């Protein structure tokens, strides 16, 4: 048994011993089951590794490339390892918590598909989000300039003070990853929870919103919340302009594809298989 799995099972056992609360029991049981699934999902010879408690490793690339490595500004991107993704939805929840999106809006989603027939049936998982394209079709169609590409690092962002909610960018986006917040209601109607009241200050009702790669975290030297949270390290964030980054090495060494590459948008997101 791998050392990482043994450690997490030991922690799960301590949770059961120290508390009789059903929720804790459920968490411990989930923890055990999850680590088994994670182990099964890896290929032969691969090592299961948990993300460190502090966001350290990947952001070393950030510190090196903010000023531009080899004379080139960073181009932030993401690799999603489909062999490691187990559909646990941790990235979906982390994104929801970090960005405080309204009901029904998920900047990060994991699509599921069943394939095959019993006894050889299996599930396939495909995380989707804004791809921060190098040639984003959503930008030129915006009549107010609210959608724009940040020149210093290629991030595609939205200025909500300029957005009029015309939905032109939503129609133009071929990936269906832009959303319009119709109102400022929370999950319990007009009366917001303390968390909702705080987090909803990040966006404005009747404006378009989408994944920003957690731009505030990036500017602060941290990884996107989804990357930090992914327990199987299926998500890798880094600089596509840095040939020595983990991201670039994965793209160079593994079979991969970009979402709908035939459209010529040059997404900053790669799926490795």
> How far from 150 is each of 40, 141, 143, 144, 232, CA to CA, in Å?
40, 16, 17, 16, 30
Q: How far apart are alpha carbons 99 and 225 in whole angstroms?
A: 9
3-state secondary structure of 42: coil
User: What does the domain layout of the chain look like in residue ranges?
Assistant: 1-49, 51-272
* Residue 215 pLDDT: 95
Residue 117's alpha-carbon distances to 18, 40, 120, 265, in angstroms, are 43, 19, 5, 36
Angle between helices 22-41 and 3-18 (to 10 degrees): 170
Q: What's the confidence (pLDDT) of residue 240?
A: 94
pLDDT at 184: 87
Alpha-carbon distance 11 to 28, whole Å?
Answer: 8
The pLDDT of residue 7 is 53
- Give the model's pLDDT for residue 68: 55
- Give the chain's end-to-end CA distance (angstroms, integer): 25
Give the pLDDT confidence score for residue 202 in this predicted structure. Answer: 86
* pLDDT for residue 182: 87
In the three-class reduction of DSSP (H, G, I as helix; E, B as strand; rest coil), residue 91 is classed as helix
Query: Residue 9: what pLDDT?
Result: 53
**How would you write the pLDDT of the chain (273 residues) with one tens digit per residue?**
344 445 545 554 554 444 343 333 334 344 443 444 344 344 444 444 444 433 444 444 444 444 456 678 899 999 999 999 999 999 999 999 999 999 999 999 999 999 999 889 999 999 999 999 999 999 999 999 999 999 899 999 999 999 999 999 999 999 999 999 888 899 998 899 999 999 998 888 999 999 999 999 999 999 999 999 999 999 999 999 999 999 999 999 999 999 999 999 999 999 999
CATH class, domain 51-272, is alpha beta
Taking alpha carbons only, the member of 207, 213, 273, 193 closest to residue 58 is 213
Listing from the earlier edge strand, what are the strands of the sheet with 76-81?
A: 235-239, 76-81, 269-272, 256-257
Task: Judge contact between 184 and 102, C-beta under 8 A.
Answer: yes
Map residue 169 onto helix, strand or coil.
helix
**Considering the entire predicted model, what is its pTM?**
0.74
* CB atoms near residue 92 (< 10 Å): 19
């Amino acid at each position: 048994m791998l050392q990482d799995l043994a450690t997490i099972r030991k922690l799960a056992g301590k949770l059961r011993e120290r508390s009789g609360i059903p929720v804790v029991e459920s968490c411990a049981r989930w923890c055990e089951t999850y680590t088994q699934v994670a182990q099964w999902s890896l290929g032969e010879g691969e090592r299961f590794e948990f993300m460190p408690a502090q966001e350290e490793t990947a952001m070393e690339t950030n510190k090196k490339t903010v000023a531009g490595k080899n004379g080139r500004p960073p181009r932030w991107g993401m690799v999603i390892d489909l062999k490691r993704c187990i559909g646990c939805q941790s990235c979906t929840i982390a994104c929801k918590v970090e960005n405080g999106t309204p009901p029904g809006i998920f900047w990060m989603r994991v699509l599921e598909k069943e394939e095959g027939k019993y006894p050889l049936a299996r599930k396939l998982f495909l995380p989707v989000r804004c791809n921060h394209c190098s040639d984003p079709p959503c930008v030129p169609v915006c009549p107010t300039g609210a959608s724009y590409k940040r020149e210093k690092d290629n991030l595609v962002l939205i200025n909500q003070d300029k957005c009029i909610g015309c939905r032109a960018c939503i129609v133009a986006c071929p990936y269906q990853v832009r959303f319009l917040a119709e109102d400022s209601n929370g999950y319990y109607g007009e009366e917001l929870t303390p968390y909702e009241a705080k987090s909803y200050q990040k966006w404005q009702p009747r404006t378009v919103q989408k994944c920003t790669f957690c731009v505030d975290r990036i500017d602060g030297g941290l990884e996107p919340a989804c990357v930090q949270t992914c327990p199987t390290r299926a998500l890798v964030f880094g600089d596509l302009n840095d040939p020595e980054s983990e991201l670039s090495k994965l793209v160079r060494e593994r079979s991969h594809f970009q979402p709908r590459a035939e459209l010529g948008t040059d997404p900053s997101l790669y799926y490795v298989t």
